[in-house]
Structure 1
């Protein structure tokens, strides 16, 4: 018979104890229910398995998750310290989940807007307390487009001297990840505080008591829906998704010029771009040349536009600009730049802007520019675009497949083939074309903006 040494015996006992420990833990951690002895009846009482915790930045607010878990869980701000996207709590009620999610997100957004954090300011510090230029991006949730815009900004010469301000109206992890990974320029995030995402069951989101879009006014009044007295000029009622864009645009303008500490001493220009734009590497150079040439090319110009909608742009006119006597929304709204003086003029006509029955911010701006603002809004625009629109889906293109590469690739190829024509050293006046200016004609408002609540909220931003 083989002799078992004390050492081997101890090893066997330890191994057996380890196996028993693993088996017991596997039993308690296995899926399903755990039996707990009930002292009163001797029967096994079923204790439900503890549900898994959901991460807010991954599951709750990601638009890519179409279905919630059977027992949805969310994060909640449970600490008394500063709110964090990392704090989590289990909630077993869908109503409570919605309420707590909104509460947490509002805390976070309020914190973002109050802190006004500038990332990369250690690498790219402001000069005399501010920056020379600011790019302001209005974003929603199209991260696949935003990636192209950010990559194009990365290639822009001199971009590190500008401040990038990203104005959100929707929180999702994909968008925030793109912004927080920017390392080539200073960047600040702000968040529109009246976003639909925060008011899913009340105004300015979609209130269940609101009138359906196509209901007739007599029927709406009889029904007693909240906004029955405020259809637009075409008899249609408010659609929250369309109204939000104009509200966000006006709030953002005010926040940038009047709400941010870093902009209090700002004397430069801001350039307004969107998540589905693409900029060329000489875009900032071109803007600086336009501003430097203002006295000789258009001393009265109040807006400077870097983009146009030419479907087949030529690079024969990279040094040419066109002075338009006033702002035309369909020609001059892409990558438009303005200074505080122009903003102050717009702000002074806030009521007219906010009461105009058009859900488009640019048509509303065109209206006050032509009808209300003394001297109008003369605009200097490039003949060869330095900012392109690559969006083919979104609010105005429902049902279309989003494919930014399909639009961006030929633009990049065209720009690359004409690289030698970029960075002109001097600018000259060019002949106006249909892509740069059309004579103003009084246009009908598009409607979608009859609701008095929108008028009042919009005007309140400038108070």
Structure 2
């Protein structure tokens, strides 16, 4: 309340308030109380809304501010920053495919630097029935012009490229690449005054080797929890590599298997396009098959991803540079029940080629497989060859990595452990235990 000229301290006011003045005063007080009540209601409602919004049933909260505050990722160079910016670009070919069916399955193809293989895979995908109905995400480990050019030429579906911004292949003189002070091979760190922790066999890190596991883990966290196109997706995502030949019936078979899984194999965690044994083309029987999850054409949903992400520490600390062996020997067994995948009796995808994933053309000891890729595509490979009437054959006992397996090594450096954990925390408020 302001002090008027007639109100002097120590003296009583001589102002007399008439009936009209009393009316005005009461009106002001009532109006003020109403406005105050409305303000409190709005504030309380906003608080409740914020609280309800944070309680997402689809998983942890996505927070860019938290990402910048908590995760201590390596300092980026110019290329790393530019690639990370590219990851935010929308998919291409939106003008050609303005809408996608509700039941479409996103396909993620992860690649390194084998253009002679990538051309085969892209050509096989172009012949897949229904490929125009989905989004193809290509995840690059490193930046290679020829690989980029091949993907930019895709016109048969929506396509989005993402590049691992912390790939060792884009850091020439610092971690996660090779830094001058790093230990090499079986160096003694205390004697050589070098940096690094050896694996269980006494070998120090090789960036080309550790990038296998880093890329897969970064890709999984980014696709499921980081990309606008997929971070709210609840359904299945199909994952393939640059040396997986995809048959024309693969997508339609995949859709049918996903639909049949709840009824035919409720205990199955995933769907596969190929047997766990990469040399097998299937049993050729009139039954669906449930077996351990393979690494060729595997597909699972967000529920399974959340179970995998919850085992981040087990994944990141296990001394094994292969992501798939880490999953088979460390992560899946921790689920508490056999991790079955459902597939057809005839493969819809096959592994080809002689070169390993990171034996690219730019390496000193490059693996160049110039032989022609002769994969026979029969009539049964062009149409859906799975029947909803079939029952399921279960493989109860399969060979594999048993309890007590300690890993093949290559993953002993604490910096790699921390980078792996940072990838798990990029889009989450807290790291799973």
Q: TM-score, normalised by structure 1?
A: 0.68
Q: Give the match for residue 341 of structure 1.
A: 303
Q: Does 1:367 align with 2:329?
A: yes
Q: CA deviation at 1:440?
A: 5.7
Partner residue of 1:156?
128
After superposition, residues 12-411 of structure 1 pair within 5 angstroms as 103-115=77-89, 117-127=90-100, 132-215=104-187, 219-227=188-196, 230-308=197-275, 309-311=277-279, 313=281, 316-317=284-285, 320-324=287-291, 326-327=292-293, 332-395=294-357, 400-403=367-370, 405=372, 408-409=373-374, 411=375
1:250 alignment partner, SS class: helix
Q: Give the whole-Å Cα distance in 1 for the aligned partners of 2:232 and 2:100.
A: 11
Cα 1:248–1:419 change in 2 (3 A) is closer
**Per-residue deviation, 1:366:** 1.5
Q: Is the 8 A contact 1:245 1:360 kept in 2?
A: yes
Compute the displacement of 1:433 (Å): 6.8
1:437 positional shift: 4.1
Gaps of 5+ in 1: 1-101
| Alignment deviations for residues 356-376 of structure 1 (CA, whole Å, 9 cap, x no partner) | 110010111113334422435
Tell me the CA shift for residue 149 of structure 1.
0.5
Q: Find the residue that maps to 1:462 and give its secondary structure.
A: helix
Equivalent-residue separation in structure 1 for 2:91 and 2:120 (angstroms): 22
Change (3 A) 1:345 1:111: same
Contact kept in structure 2, 1:285 and 1:423, CA below 8 Å: no
**Partners of 1:189 and 1:201 in 2: CA distance:** 26
For 2:256 and 2:114, the matched residues in 1 are separated by: 32
Q: Evaluate the alpha carbon distance shift between residue 367 and residue 440 of structure 1 in structure 2; reply closer, same or farther with a 3 A threshold.
A: closer
CA distance in 1, matches of 2:379, 2:366: 34
Distance 1:283 1:275 in 2: 16
Q: Which blocks of at least 5 consecutive residues in structure 2 are unaligned?
A: 1-75, 360-364, 426-433
- For residues 321 and 401 of structure 2, the distance between their equivalents in structure 1, rounded to whole angstroms, comes to 20
Which of 417, 424, 428 is the equivalent residue of 1:462?
A: 424
Q: Secondary structure at the match of 2:88?
A: helix
**Are residues 191 and 249 of structure 1, via their aligned partners in 2, closer, same or farther at CA, if it must alter by over 3 Å?**
same
Q: Is the 8 A contact 2:264 2:392 kept in 1?
A: no
CA RMSD of aligned residues (A): 2.6
Q: Is the 8 A contact 1:132 1:267 kept in 2?
A: no
The answer for the alignment partner of 1:53 in structure 2 is none
> 1:293·1:427 contact (CA, 8 Å) conserved in 2?
no
C-alpha separation in 2, matches of 1:123 and 1:174: 24
Instruction: Measure the CA separation in 2 of the matches of 1:395 and 1:119.
Output: 26
- Cα distance in 2 for residues equivalent to 1:306 and 1:334: 7
Does structure 2 conserve the Cα–Cα contact (< 8 Å) formed by 1:134 and 1:163? yes
Distance 1:419-1:280 versus aligned 2 partners, 3 A rule: closer
Tell me the secondary structure at the aligned position of residue 263 of structure 1.
Answer: coil
Preserved contact between residue 321 and residue 427 of structure 1 (Cα < 8 Å): no
Q: Which residue of 2 aligns with 1:446?
A: 408
Corresponding pairs, count: 343
**Alignment correspondent of 2:19:** none
* In structure 2, C-alpha distance between the alignment counterparts of 1:268 and 1:297, rounded to whole Å: 18
Aligned-partner SS, 1:359: coil
Quote the offset at 1:298 in angstroms.
1.0
Q: Is the partner of 2:347 in helix, strand or coil?
A: coil
Distance 2:107 2:180 in 1: 37
